[in-house]
Structure 1
């Protein structure tokens, strides 16, 4: 009888240990979830009619057909693309033939001596877009006109703010640029950069003409009429 009674005795200690362990697992799981959500969060969204907060596109023009450009302001080839194709894209956007979607991304932060120039300059572009998106074309051109060489520190935030205001933005963009208001958004949108055909990682510039991602090696010949206009149909 005593043995039977002993077998029926509830082991409260074991239950307590199990419950405590479960609580620890739940807490750790919650901490991990929170950390992961913070790491992948786009942070503050650039709220403006010209900014698509799902894709990161800053729209210029209202045409039915689209050209998307994914650019890093530290990228010298992006600058070359701007010089060769920029005037044609601007004209197409101004005439209402296309919507030009500019995606400022950051894949070259490692080439700015730890200052994260790619992220900072892309953040500045969103600051300008939120202030007044009409100034984006001028700001993009001005950034490329003063593009720093790879493996230098890049332009500081004060200079970025001066370029922004010289491009037509209000003085309020200075604090947005200095605070890195949209830095996390830049990181999140960079991860959405489409891969070029045959590539295993994102590259800049990446150009998408009316939904088709071009291969820089094969599809960009330096002739905007052939490479862009004819593809638009």
Structure 2
């Protein structure tokens, strides 16, 4: 057997040692690379969590602001609905035609005279409320035609709680003026309401700009209100009464939302049909526009609107007809 050259053996050992060292170095570099990737992964996960939390917070804040701006403020409220009602009754200057809960009944026969056998629709509204304006523009032409034909009674409940978003008591001034018009020229109330809810007039709740009495008077005159009635309406006779109603009305549990973010509280617009809560978003959830959903709820065909003597099927006491199988109107 040939003997191994000592120098060759030393070279082989050196090669093996170098190879081992290279593998160790390579493994060390790989471990460091994996550790760095892990650190980056943790950082990215943390950043993702922070971003997600920030986005959720912003969405929640936006939703909360919308919800808060469309519901009466709870601060300084009476501790009971009885006390709130007593405060309303204690106001010296009150509307003479408002019912016991602050509503004004309108029908083809005038103020405070219900049409027999017709459903009664209650509308709780604030002149600053954009949702009220949207409802007015989509539904009020139908309500107006039905009312004129004796197919419907409408009860208006003015509110002014969104004054907190104004700098000049716009809601209270517009609401008080509306009540004066109801009391003294009720046939022009619907046109007045439409004039104030017009897209080119209603103030922006998020970027409010003051509205003068002169501009309010212009809208009244456009609606057909006489100059004399307009001047008297702008004196603010019913602002205190509205302020007290803003505390009493939201405490009525029958007006509270039955689902969604505002469940258990009142918001505007609120609508009831024959004293049953009617969710204004019900038609859209059922894939319908608001007038179509309303007509289905009261039991009347679109081609029957405005036909005197043709009455909604639910009559004066029936519950609104469900728009979907799962509806609970």
Query: What's the TM-score bracket when you normalise by the shorter of the two chains?
Result: 0.7 to 0.9
The alpha-carbon deviation at position 162 of structure 1 amounts to: 2.8
User: Which of 111, 121, 125 does residue 67 from structure 1 map onto?
Assistant: 121
Q: Confirm whether residue 134 of structure 1 aligns to residue 187 of structure 2.
A: yes
Residue 91 (structure 2) pairs with residue 42 (structure 1): yes
> How many angstroms does 1:174 deviate by?
4.1
Contact 2:128/2:202 (8 A) holds in 1: yes
Asked if 1:79 corresponds to 2:145, the answer is: no
Q: Please tell me the root mean square deviation across aligned C-alpha atoms, in Å.
A: 2.4
Partner of 2:289: 223
Contact 2:168–2:211 (8 Å) recurs in 1: no
Change in CA separation of 1:176 and 1:42 when aligned onto 2, cut-off 3 Å: farther
User: SS at 2:138's partner residue?
Assistant: helix
- Cα separation, 2, equivalents of 1:211 and 1:230: 17
Aligned to 1:100: 154
2:271 to 195, 207, 220: 207
Give the Cα–Cα distance (whole angstroms) in 2 for the partners of residues 73 and 179 of structure 1: 17
1:163 aligns with 2:258: no
| Consecutive unaligned residues in structure 2, runs of 5 or more | 1-85, 108-113, 300-329
Larger Rg: 2
Aligned residue among 51, 54, 69 for 2:100 = 54
3-state DSSP class of the match of 1:71? strand
Rounded Cα–Cα distance in structure 2 between residues aligned with 1:161 and 1:175 = 7
- Aligned equivalent of 1:9: none
Structure-2 change in CA distance of 1:213 and 1:172 (3 Å): same
| CA shift digits 1:72-102 (9 cap, x unpaired) | 1111111111121111111111111110112
Which residue matches 1:16? none
Count of matched residue positions in the alignment of Structure 1 and Structure 2: 193
Q: Scaled by the length of structure 1, what TM-score is found?
A: 0.73
Q: Is 1:196–2:236 an aligned residue pair? A: no
